[in-house]
Every structure is written in structure tokens, then in C-alpha cells.
Amino acid sequence: MKKVKVVEIGPRDGFQNVKEFIPTETKLRIIDQLMAAGFQKIQITSFVSPKAIPQLRDCRQVVEHCLAKYPKNKLFALVPNFTGARLAVEAGLTEISPVLSLSESHNMNNVKRTVAQSIEEMKKIRQAFPDVKITQDIATAFGCPFEGEMPVEALVELVGKLHVLGIRAFTLCDTVGLAYPTLVEKVFRTVKKAFPSDEFNVHIHDTRNMGILNSYVALQNGADSVQSAVGGLGGCPFAPGASGNTSTEDLVYMLNKCGYDTEIDFAALLKTAKYVHSVIDGNFSGHQINIPEKPCVIRQV
């Protein structure tokens, strides 16, 4: 049975777009349940300005609690800039995910910089924190809400510039769900051929109901891990049209049925998804929470 890495990003990408503040205790309870279900790697928050995303203003408290409780698990956070990176490292994290966009338009909307300026920021982060693992998020890697489908050649060029800085791990993000299977196949085959020793992960949104399919195609074409959010909760606050993430429970169900070993307890995961749905008022794309746990009995007339 082939093992596959499913990385849970709900506590960051799922929570960030929820308008009403989720109590820190509730966030930690959800993370506890995800840990109990078997997740080894979770993106637990983002060190972003509270003015930009008030929902994650408790980022340091979440990180310090989780590091103390789960010292052996891989915990990481998204950071938009050098300040975020510094705060994440000061909180004790040993892996961070800085974000920049392939699209100039989205990069300006998301982090208020040109792509060139973001690359310079990445250079500062890499030099300042040489012992921290950097997994570079590349937003709009497949398509942009402002510029449309992005050229694969442009992605290869951007990865090359980051590779020169010493970055060897990347997450290719379908920020608004514009990807489709043949594009995903082309992108992963191209980047894996150009940078065979680098790590490439995938993060797909489910805007057009192709999240699971695109994630599966990415895995079939060399993706090192796939990211998803419990319940399919989430969306990008700086990308018009971005709906929910790919649902973790839907993805794990599919992978289990296709013979992959996710090391995730599906029953525990589904219970967590239902809990999240019951306590958070947000956008959910998951389907499993609405399926009866026991098969329906057909009554004979």
C-alpha cells in the first residue's frame, strides 16, 4: 500500500475567512481532535497583521500551546513577510511557509508588494533564519482571479529564482480553483523535471468541484503531499471568487478507497469535521458530513 502525506491546513486557511472570532479554546480543541485522528503535520495559524486578518490574532498563543503539547509533530505557520517570519521563529516554530504569488496582480492584493519585492523579502528571510525549514507557498500557481490561467514557464522561472536563494520546498496553490486535471498534470511534470530534487506539494481549492480530482492528479504526477482543510472550510480573503478548500475528509475517504495509506483515522476525522461544522459559521465544501453513518434501509412495500 502506497503511503501519502495529507497535510491539514484548516486551522489557518479554514479559519482565516470566518468573520466571527473563533475562541482560542475552540481552535485548540479542533487541533486536538485532528491530532487524535492521526495528522502528523498541521498548519496551525498565520503570523499576519491582526488588522488584515483579525481571526488569527491569537497566533502566538496557539503556537506556544501546540508546541508544548505536541513537540514531536510537524507544526508550521504561514507568514506574509519578514516580520511574520521573525515572530513565528520567536514563538518557537522550526518550519514556516512564506507566501508570494505567481501573479503580480494577486501579489499586490495579497501582500502589497510586487513579485520582485517579495523575492527580496524571501532572501532576507532565508539569510536571517538559516536553520528554519522554508516551504514556499506560491499562490495563483495555476490561475489568477485577475490575470486568468498562468503560464507554466513563468512558474518554472519563479521557482528557479527561489531555488537560487536556497529554497528547496514549495507548495503550489490553486488559490481560486481555476486548475483542471490536464493543467495540474502539466505543471507537476514540468516542475518535477526542472527541479527533480526539490519538494513540491499541492494546495487545491474546490471552487469548481474539482478539488479532489486535481489533488489526486497531482499525487499521481509526483506531488510530495497534498493540503486540505477539515470540512472544506475556507477561502482566500484577497482573491475574489475563492470558495472553500478541498475537504480533508472527502479527500481521505477517496485516497483510502484508492489503496493509499494516509495513516488517518477516518471515523475520528469525520467526527471532527462534524464538530467544526457545528461550532463555526463558515463556508464548507465537504460532503461527508451530510452522509448518514449507517446505510439507508429500503422499506419493502
Task: Convert the pLDDT of each residue in 138-189 to its tens digit.
Answer: 999 999 999 999 999 999 999 999 999 999 999 999 998 899 999 999 999 9
Domain contains 301? no
Per-residue pLDDT band for 296 (boundaries 50, 70, 90) equals low
Nearest by Cα to 12 from 65, 58, 51 = 58
Looking at residue 272, its amino acid is T
Our count of domains for the chain comes to: 1
- Residue 45 CA to residue 58 CA, distance in Å, equals 9
C-beta of residue 14 within 8 angstroms of C-beta of residue 277 = no
Q: Mean pLDDT in the chain? A: 93
Average pLDDT over residues 3-7: 97
Task: Pick the range with the lowest mean pLDDT from 74-78, 122-126, 232-236, 271-275.
Answer: 232-236
List residues with catalytic annotation: 236
Nearest-CA neighbor of 222 among 261, 187, 259?
187
Residue span of the structural domain in which 265 resides = 2-290
**pLDDT of 290:** 77
Is 62 among the domain residues?
yes
Q: What is the predicted pLDDT for the residue at 294?
A: 63
Q: What is the mean pLDDT of residues 51-58?
A: 96
41 in Cβ contact with 74 (< 8 Å): yes
DSSP string, 233-301: ----TTSTT--PBPBHHHHHHHHHHTTEE----HHHHHHHHHHHHHH--S----SGGGS-SSPPPPPP-
In a domain, 53, yes or no: yes
Residue 263 in domain: yes
Q: Would you state the pLDDT for residue 244?
A: 75
Report field, pTM of the whole predicted structure over 0.95: no
Q: DSSP state, 8?
A: E
Per-residue pLDDT tens for 209-229?
899 999 999 999 999 999 999
How many Å apart are CA 234 and CA 236, to the nearest integer? Answer: 7
Q: How far apart are CA 32 and CA 30, in angstroms?
A: 5
Q: Which grid cell is 285?
A: 465544501
- Judge whether 299 lies within some domain: no
Task: Let me know if residue 149 belongs to a domain.
Answer: yes
Domain annotation covers residue 298: no
Q: What is the DSSP string of 7-24?
A: EE-IIIIITTT-SSPPPH
Tell me the torsion sign for CA atoms 237, 178, 270, 296: positive
Task: Note the pLDDT tens digit of each residue in 234-257.
Answer: 865 555 555 679 999 999 999 999
| % residues pLDDT > 70 (the chain) | 94
Question: The CATH number of the domain where 136 resides is what?
Answer: 3.20.20.70
Q: Are 269 and 231 in contact (CB under 8 A)?
A: no
Q: Is residue 176 part of a domain?
A: yes
